[in-house]
């Protein structure tokens, strides 16, 4: 009995010594950015430029170890086989990545200040046209002009699951105003500066009282050439306009092509979700 007690006591002492010598590592789950899901998806990765060195990226989960290291446990596909790897970084890497994402979000906010009009074609054959408000890993969010629940013409918000979208057409933006103003400005300047470009009266034939004054010539020439320049500017804009973009949804990753046209909604907000009617 005494030998048994001594043996167990020796084991406990050894365990205590090992525990002090090799303390147990503690890993705490952490979000890369506040509001981002615990699991980083491919859409997160592509939108924010994460883990670009990993080919076949599928998802990643981040942990803080012992308040000193950031562990990124990554799953990726290699020839159709899912594998995993772990990146270990100093904890300061988390702060630098969050600062970089902050900068990206500010740049995107400016880029999306002028929203795009899109048409979403569903797999069930329905068509919805409106302003692209946002997209997520699961939905496309639209603001349309008609509330089809009541039949009234009013702003109505809808969200369409990616699984139900067959194609999205993005209406191209053509800037007609700038070339029209430039053309009109050039024409007006020429007409005012060179009244002879509009036409010059023959003083030997017409009576002095019927002659156009110098000011009238300049005004008339400016108006005529200004209108001509505006028409030319409109024609140039029309001939150089871009075609509408067509995005066929072959997988959920196809939604990333909307990155150029609308913001990525990645932070879940209950009130935001409830303000959109879901199209099933």
Total of domains in the chain = 3
Both tokens assigned to 153: 């013409």
Enclosing domain of residue 158:
114-171+245-278
**C-alpha to C-alpha distance for 120 and 260, rounded to whole angstroms:** 16
Shared domain for 106 and 118, answered yes or no, is no
pLDDT reading at 157 higher than 90? yes
Answer whether residue 141 is part of any domain: yes
Answer whether residue 1 is part of any domain: no
Judge contact between 191 and 221, C-beta under 8 A.
yes
Last residue of a domain, one of 110, 129, 157: 110
Shared domain for 143 and 165, answered yes or no, is yes
**C-alpha to C-alpha distance for 142 and 186, rounded to whole angstroms:** 41
Span 199-205, mean pLDDT? 48
Shared domain for 234 and 250, answered yes or no, is no
Span 99-122, pLDDT tens digits: 999 999 999 988 888 899 999 999
Span 150-179, mean pLDDT? 85
Q: Of the ranges 108-112, 148-152, 159-163, 221-225, which one carries the lowest mean pLDDT score? A: 221-225
Answer whether residue 59 is part of any domain: yes
Last residue of a domain, one of 91, 110, 129: 110
Span 34-52, pLDDT tens digits: 999 999 999 999 999 999 9
Element of type H or E holding 197: none
pLDDT reading at 221 higher than 90? no
């Amino acid at each position: 009995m005494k030998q048994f007690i001594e043996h167990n006591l020796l084991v406990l002492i050894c365990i205590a010594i090992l525990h002090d010598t090799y303390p147990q590592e503690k890993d705490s789950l952490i979000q890369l950015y506040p509001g981002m899901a615990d699991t980083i998806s491919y859409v997160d990765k592509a939108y924010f430029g994460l883990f670009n060195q990993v080919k076949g990226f599928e998802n990643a989960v981040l942990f803080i170890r012992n308040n000193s290291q950031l562990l990124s446990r990554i799953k990726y596909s290699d020839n159709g086989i899912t594998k995993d790897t772990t990146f270990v970084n100093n904890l300061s890497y988390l702060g630098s990545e969050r600062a970089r994402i902050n900068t990206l979000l500010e740049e995107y906010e400016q880029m999306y200040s002028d929203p795009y009009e899109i048409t979403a074609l569903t797999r069930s054959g329905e068509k919805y046209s409106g302003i692209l408000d946002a997209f997520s890993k699961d939905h496309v969010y639209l603001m349309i002009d008609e509330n089809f629940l009541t039949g009234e013409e009013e702003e109505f918000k809808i969200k369409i699951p990616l699984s139900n979208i067959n194609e999205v057409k993005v209406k191209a933006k053509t800037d007609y105003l700038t070339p029209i103003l430039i053309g009109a400005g050039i024409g007006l300047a020429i007409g005012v500066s060179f009244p002879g470009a509009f036409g010059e009266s023959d003083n030997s034939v017409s009576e002095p009282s019927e002659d156009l004054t110098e000011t009238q010539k300049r005004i008339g020439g400016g108006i005529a050439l200004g209108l001509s320049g505006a028409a030319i500017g409109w024609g140039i804009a029309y001939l150089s306009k871009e075609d509408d973009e067509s995005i066929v949804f072959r997988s959920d990753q196809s939604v990333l092509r909307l990155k150029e046209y609308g913001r990525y909604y990645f932070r879940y907000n209950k009130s935001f979700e409830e303000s959109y009617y879901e199209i099933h």
